Amino acid sequence: MKETNPATEPIGQNLIKLISNLCFSVFVFSVLIFTVIAITYQPPDPWLESAPALTKLFTQSENATFKNDNSILKTGEDLQTVSAPAVPPALAIEPITEQVIEKSEEKVTNMTLKSSGCENLQIVNCSDPRVLITVEKFNLKWFKSIVFLEYQTPVNGSKPDECDVAWKFRNKKEKSWRKYRDFRRFKFGNGENCTYKIVHASGWHSGINARRQRIKVNATKSGGKSPKIAPSVRDEEINDTIPTLGSEMNFRKGRYLYYSRGGDYCKGMNHYMWSFLCGLGEAMYLNRTFVMDLSICLAGSYNPSGKDEEGKDFRYYFDFEHLKEMASIVEESEFLRDWKKWDRAHKKKVPVRKVVTHKVMPVQLKKDKSTIIWRQFDAPEPENYWYRVCEGQAAKYIQRPWHALWKSKRLMNIVTEISGQMDWDFDAVHVVRGEKAQNKELWPHLDADTSPDALVAKLQGIIQPWRNLYIATNEPFYNYFDKLRSHFKVHLLDDYKALWGNTSDWYNETMLLNHGWPVEFDGYMRVAVDTEVLYRAKTRVETFYNLTSDCKDGVNTC
């Protein structure tokens, strides 16, 4: 029997033990790291994670204030989402697809064969189901970027062989579930096998007999001399009414988060949105109703005068109806009135927790039982910015509800009108000039790269000749792009001034919000509309990375 070597046995055992201990230590260390990550990790806001460019835009700051050219203005409906909010059941409408049309056509064909109704095609009967089926098939073929949601029964046009048809639709590039209307005139002829065919289709909003009845509303300013106003109308699909708290007991039972006006007032609209959504996000985190001021100060950068303008209504710019559906809110003056009314009528005042610094984190207020948590922003700038509440550790708890903030439906109606007048078949170029083109230190080539000759040379290699070309730009000189007109069908925002002129729906509807006084179509509205039309283009050309090699944020920032 072979003897073991006593000198080597302890070395082998020790080596095995050493390896075992090392592996166990690595395992324990890995578990510890994983545990720490699991505890501290906060999933990113899907709205921001899926739009890193927007996050960069808002988070790049200098001395806690924002610096950007405001040439693109994104809101919730523009952002791709990982998990978009569900469409409300009342708004869930099945799109009209080829399969839906085929089922309708099969039913109509069976009815036609039984009644031997082919002879009736000699006279166009607009209420004949075959007329509507013909229009539905035509629209699906020609408007690939549109989701058709519902049609009205066709009505007679101006001639015996014409019918006017109205429908509701949504653009495929729009992330919201809002519906828009179009109504067009179609000329019909006889097709094969007891069918109609469309001989001619007129353009956007040409079927005036199918246009909905307008609801007339009186709009006068109480007290003093009433302004001269155009006949007023109201879009029944927009509900801008301010929610009320109702009885005193309803007010007392509520829980509110109230932000006093801070240094964000009169800052740029991107700054405003970043701060507003911080406050709204904290209210959601605390499960409280957010007290919001509908009065906005529009920064001077959006105004030709360069001066800030107070007293602008939130509803001019954002979809208040959608906000009410997504979040619990109350208007500030309504809230303050009910608060004062309660305190006057009761010896026991409403419990209020005043928070005087943004350094008090939302998690510290989570268990507070006060009826009102009142954040006050009295410190000097930048300590009095609302969005400071959501910085640092608070970012782990507060998710900005981007899905709650959409552009105004009234502005989006203008976007839809412009796109529709180009029959949804257009390309677009975003030309950033303004102060950036003048600043040769940060953007040395931008001015030359966006000159008329440079634009012609560049776009001819990207856009097909004589296509509809929409130019979204901050260039104030209308004729600056005239050289492009020799190669493309050029469209600028100012070509559509009638859409916000004193006979337009927008003019009348915003005047109702402004107590009968006209509302200016200001610089922010222009940029918002430009942005959305740009997004709907089939081919989109950007200034940076397409037209110029300059960096978007200046030298050495690419």
H helix runs in 394-479, sequence order? 409-421, 434-438, 446-449, 452-460
Give the per-residue pLDDT at 109: 74
Q: Closest Cα partner for 291 from 351, 343, 242?
A: 242
Q: Which of 11-25, 233-247, 437-451, 454-468 has the lowest mean pLDDT?
A: 11-25
Higher pLDDT, 516 or 66: 516
Q: Cis peptide before 129, with omega less than 30 degrees from 0?
A: no
Q: Which of 107-121, 226-240, 388-402 has the lowest mean pLDDT?
A: 226-240
Average pLDDT over residues 305-320: 94
Predicted TM-score of the model (pTM): 0.83
- Do 194 and 121 touch, CB atoms closer than 8 A? yes
- In the chain, where are the structural domains located? 93-210, 243-404, 409-541
Q: Closest Cα partner for 181 from 196, 201, 198, 164?
A: 164
Q: Which long-range contacts (CB under 8 A, 24 or more apart) does 348-354 make?
A: 350/252
Which bin fits 546, alpha (ψ -120 to 50), beta or left (φ > 0)? Answer: alpha
- Do 182 and 86 touch, CB atoms closer than 8 A? no
pLDDT level of residue 234 (50, 70, 90 thresholds): low
Considering the chain, what percentage of its residues have pLDDT values greater than 70? 79
- Do 418 and 533 touch, CB atoms closer than 8 A? yes
Give the per-residue pLDDT at 44: 37
Query: Is pLDDT at 549 greater than 70 in this prediction?
Result: yes
What are the backbone angles phi and psi of residue 131, rounded to the nearest 5°? -65, -50
Give the per-residue pLDDT at 366: 95
Q: Which long-range contacts (CB under 8 A, 24 or more apart) does 504-509 make?
A: 505/233, 505/235, 505/410, 505/413, 506/410, 506/411, 506/413, 506/414, 507/230, 508/219, 508/229, 508/230, 508/231, 508/232, 508/233, 509/232, 509/233, 509/234, 509/235, 509/238, 509/410
Q: How far apart are CA 356 and CA 260, in angstroms?
A: 10
Average pLDDT over residues 330-357: 92
Give the per-residue pLDDT at 265: 95
pLDDT digits (tens, 9 = 90+) for 85-97: 445 545 567 889 9
pLDDT level of residue 15 (50, 70, 90 thresholds): low
H or E element that contains 491:
strand 489-492
Handedness of CA 247, 248, 250, 251 (dihedral sign): positive
pLDDT level of residue 407 (50, 70, 90 thresholds): very high
Higher pLDDT, 49 or 408: 408
Give the per-residue pLDDT at 94: 83
Sheet arrangement for strand 352-355: 329-331, 289-292, 256-259, 372-375, 352-355
Higher pLDDT, 194 or 412: 412
Query: Is pLDDT at 466 greater than 80 in this prediction?
Result: yes
Q: Where are the beta strands (DSSP E) in 172-232?
A: 180-190, 196-201, 215-216
**Separation of first and last alpha carbons in the chain:** 77
Give the per-residue pLDDT at 49: 34
Whole-number average pLDDT of the chain: 84
pLDDT level of residue 232 (50, 70, 90 thresholds): very low
Give the per-residue pLDDT at 473: 96
Average pLDDT over residues 401-407: 94
For residue 437, the Cα-to-chain-centroid distance in whole angstroms is: 28
Average pLDDT over residues 190-211: 90
Average pLDDT over residues 143-169: 95
3-state secondary structure of 259: strand
Residue 469 contacts by C-beta under 8 Å, 6 or more apart in sequence? 426, 427, 428, 429, 459, 463, 484, 488, 489, 490, 491
